[in-house]
Structure 1
């Protein structure tokens, strides 16, 4: 307090001296500012000098940690342990997060807008080195496992089909569902992808029904991706959870609906977020060519099956990358529903 009082007195004396010698108030303030700048520069240099040894120490510590981590990553046994632990924990962690997120999303539906991956592009060069392809090497056909229960020890590399005759859906059912919930679909599931330039939104598809107004060449393909909770709940009435789904699998939010005219050209089925995939034929028919993934193409053979209305195809995209093909002499509109399970 004494030092502050002395400081005030000295400042008062300087200002009186300035007034006696005809120095303006602005000039006096400028002199004070110049003094403060000199003091600031002087003490900031001292502070920087004192901090420099600490920065050097932190830098060397950081470099040492990075070097240790790189060395550990180069150890194959440690890398194998880390990969095994992380792979085994991915699905349980996602399952818990999904359960926790459901009540939160229910209270704040607008948060579902944050879950959208339209801006992301799938990496076409993604490749798993040294992938074990034994699950698909013994596959020579696609069996029908209707009525058979799948155990935890089941080989997920084996694709199979099931009959679900009570899940047939016509274009009229889709149209009626859309118009009954138009606002929700236009807000949360508006976008589609199509090879037909006149169809750019789901509203266009419903206004120009392909079962009523078919195109001249019958080659239109439509892929409708749904990844919001509200439209998913509505479509669940048309496309319920696949029958005999293993209890330890849960559905992902992301769903696809395919609408194809009878001559729609071949297209690769998408790889959704979960690797266990079910595609249901709700109307019409398509040929599905099961092509091994790039990692397993040298070890596993391609297969082709006819997926007709009321049947589902189950497979794992780690081992298979199916292509949808038109059926020769087909006339009906194809409607397919794809979901994935973790």
Structure 2
């Protein structure tokens, strides 16, 4: 059938060509008119195809909008359930990829922005699963911790090889690296009320025995973290890759109760550099009906490992005048 149609079409073209030549039209003009007619036919077909393609795209977009609008809750639940467990592995992979670039260009860490400038005190998680803390009755002490790959969900403590870092040694550390700290970590929070510069805190006229304050020094850049790691090595429980560059140095010379600041990653640790305190692990508000508060004494060089998603540590008030210095970090 197709061959017959093509044969008839060829005969019609030959007949039309002969009639044009008989009418005085040259053969090259006939060929030009014939090719122009084919081009017009092709353009007309393309316009029809594009029109149908636009119609199909509009119909598909409207269908997607209607489907998302009518099944919003179901789609949202599916996305949250399937994506949630990949957030931290994805961030950890991104961190490993970016570390070589930050090592070559450490100044890029100065472009880091805070994820939340003001925390919402009324934020709660609906239907939070509290099983990681529901069966925990005490804080266990271990002797030889392994690297954490999310298996250490319940809180624990262990004795590290961290040497004492006193107020005087911390002041000397700042003086030796004044240029880096003044540029990259220029603020120290005092008593959760106002800020001072590190120079004001560690100057010679300030003595931990005469100044009763709570200092929280946040360090969140790669250069400052690298200097700090020379004096406070990475804890054994934290893997080589994954430790956040965000650190806190807490200096308590007042002895009053205070809450340990929340960290960037949910797996956090509190390492005692000098002194000793009693720490209370209070369950999160969402888990108070299932989990109980825990209390642990932290001597010097001990590390407390916890997940702040379920536990909120608070350092308790003490009667003695011993200065307490601690390092707070986290792992994603």
In structure 1, stretches of 5+ residues that fail to align are: 1-56
Matched, 1:93 2:90: yes
Normalized against structure 2, the TM-score is what? 0.76
Number of the residue aligned with 1:338: 328
**Could you tell me how far apart the structure 1 residues matched to 2:316 and 2:300 are?**
15
2:123 is aligned to: 126
- CA, structure 1 residues 62+204, in 2 after alignment: closer, same or farther (shift >3 Å)? farther
Query: Shift in Å at residue 58 of structure 1?
Result: 9.3
For the 8 Å contact 2:148–2:237, the answer to whether it is kept is no
Q: Does the 8 Å CA contact 2:95/2:242 hold for their aligned counterparts?
A: no
Cα pair distance change 1:146/1:245, threshold 3 Å: farther
Q: In the alignment, which residue of structure 1 is the partner of 2:285?
A: 294
Q: Equivalences for 1:211-290 in 2 at 5 Å?
A: 211=207, 214-215=210-211, 218=212, 220-246=213-239, 250-263=242-255, 265-290=256-281
Partner of 1:48: none
Residue 182 (structure 1) shift: 0.5
Contact 1:211 1:333 in 2 (8 A): no
RMSD: 2.8
Unmatched runs of 5 consecutive residues or more in structure 2: 1-55
**Residue 146 (structure 1) aligns with:** 143
Q: CA deviation at 1:61?
A: 7.2
Is the contact between residue 214 and residue 254 of structure 2 (CA under 8 Å) also seen in structure 1?
Answer: no
Deviations 1:234-283 (A, max 9, x none): 00011111123356x620111101000142x2222122111000100100
Alpha carbons of structure 1 residues 289 and 258: separation in structure 2 relative to 1, 3 Å:
same
Bigger shift: residues 223-232 or 198-207: 198-207
- CA separation in 1, counterparts of 2:205 and 2:265? 31
| Cα offset, 1:212, TM superposition | 5.2
Structure 1 residues 210 and 147, CA, compared in 2 at 3 Å: closer, same or farther? Answer: farther
Computing the radius of gyration over CA atoms, which structure comes out larger, 1 or 2?
A: 2
Provide the C-alpha distance between the structure 2 equivalents of 1:198 and 1:124, rounded to a whole number of angstroms: 20
- Equivalent residues, number: 280
Is the contact between residue 194 and residue 200 of structure 1 (CA under 8 Å) also seen in structure 2?
Answer: yes
Query: Counterpart in 2 of 1:306?
Result: 297
Pick one of 80, 105, 109 that aligns with 1:108: 105
**Does the 8 A contact of 2:252 with 2:325 survive in 1?**
yes
Normalised TM-score (structure 1): 0.74
Corresponding position: 1:171 with 2:167: yes
Decide which moves more: 193-202 or 96-105: 193-202
Distance across 2 between alignment mates of 1:89 and 1:131: 18
Aligned equivalent of 1:82, options 67, 72, 79: 79
**Aligned 1:8-27 pairs, distance under 5 A:** none
